[in-house]
Amino acid sequence: MNFFEATVRVLSHKGHGVVDHPDGRMFFAKGVWVGETARFRLTGTEKNYDVISVLEIISPSPHRVSAPCAHHGSKKCGGCPWMFISYEEQVQAKEKRIDFLLSKNNIPVEKRFSLIASDKNLGYRNRAQFKTDGVSIGFVTEGTNDLYAIEDCLVLNPQMREHLKVLRSHLPRADWSSTGTHPWNYIEMDDHQAVSDIQLNRRRPFRQGNSEQNIKMKMWIEEVLKDAPKEHPVIEAFCGSGNLTEAISNIGFTNILAAEVRGVAIDELRSKKMPGVQIMEIDMNIKGVWQQLSRRQPQAKILLVDPPREGLEMRAGLFNSLKQLEKVLYISCEPNTWARDVKDFQANGWKVESLTPIDLFPHTPHIELMSVLKLR
């Protein structure tokens, strides 16, 4: 039965619609919303699960809108999969996902704050990675290796849109054609650089992609730590180029150990010469990392972590090494690994004092979590 009708009953953690086949199988569908009834077609198998496509929306959601971007849709850009739904409804969906996550993992939270929505849902993005084959420039369609050419990107901020316009004016370029294992090269850029400084296949230091929301993240840190004694030793792990280090330094902490693996980001951090900041070059994913940090900052009272999606992979040694800790600020870009890690904190006598979700990327399922953990 390759064709069937079904109603979307919930969204998956990746933001896809969950639908049930008449024979009892469950499928994930892109481009549909909770409560919508649609006609689907079974199209094949991908990464060990069956794939379906939407043929027709029979009963659309009242929150469905016309996407403003010409590149939005199936087999196109794929960068803003929720652009067909009102932003207000997107915010509610993210709130529900967090509530479900807390309930599923039995994580009590003393103070659960509402998601901080983005003031802009277009024109907010300060960085991007494009792909180019020397003839066109764009993004790779989700689930494929195919380059989808774009003329503009509405979620980029004005400077980034101008960068893209200039890059497109340089096409075609023979020196941008692929010579490697992929049929394209990548161009990573942000609004801190001039177009003339953009280089092919060159990584840029990590930055939060939404400048306005990044300011709110720093304000959150300042609010959480405003009453803490400024002589308390602080460890910041996964500090990158010092984005959040600036917030800690600016409110007067005098003994901050900022830790990051050697690379471009740590060089940028060092160049900022922030008062009260010591720098430790260390890979946060090696065995014994917390013991090494504790030797450098043995009396640490406060820990700030902002790991990548994988979370705190080496968290086991944290609890035995940093015995003086009183407060942990855990910022996460992946709720599932956050929940996994927090359950370990709970098992070691910690609790979630507060949780504040923040939306950095409108029109996507992405959610950032800002949490404060304290010993019970």
Active-site annotation, residues: 333
The token duo for 315 is: 């968290």
Backbone angles phi, psi at 187, to 5 degrees: -125, 110
The token duo for 136 is: 């066109």
Alpha carbon 176 to chain centroid, angstroms? 29
Instruction: Find out whether the peptide bond into 308 is cis, omega within 30 degrees of 0.
Output: no
Q: Are 161 and 153 in contact (CB under 8 A)?
A: yes
Question: How far apart (Å, rounded) are the C-alpha atoms in residues 172 and 303?
Answer: 49
Q: Residue written as tokens 């994930």?
A: 28
Question: How far apart (Å, rounded) are the C-alpha atoms in residues 334 and 348?
Answer: 22
Query: Exposed/middle/buried for 376, CB within 10 Å: 0-12, 13-18, 19+?
Result: exposed
Question: How far apart (Å, rounded) are the C-alpha atoms in residues 339 and 336?
Answer: 5
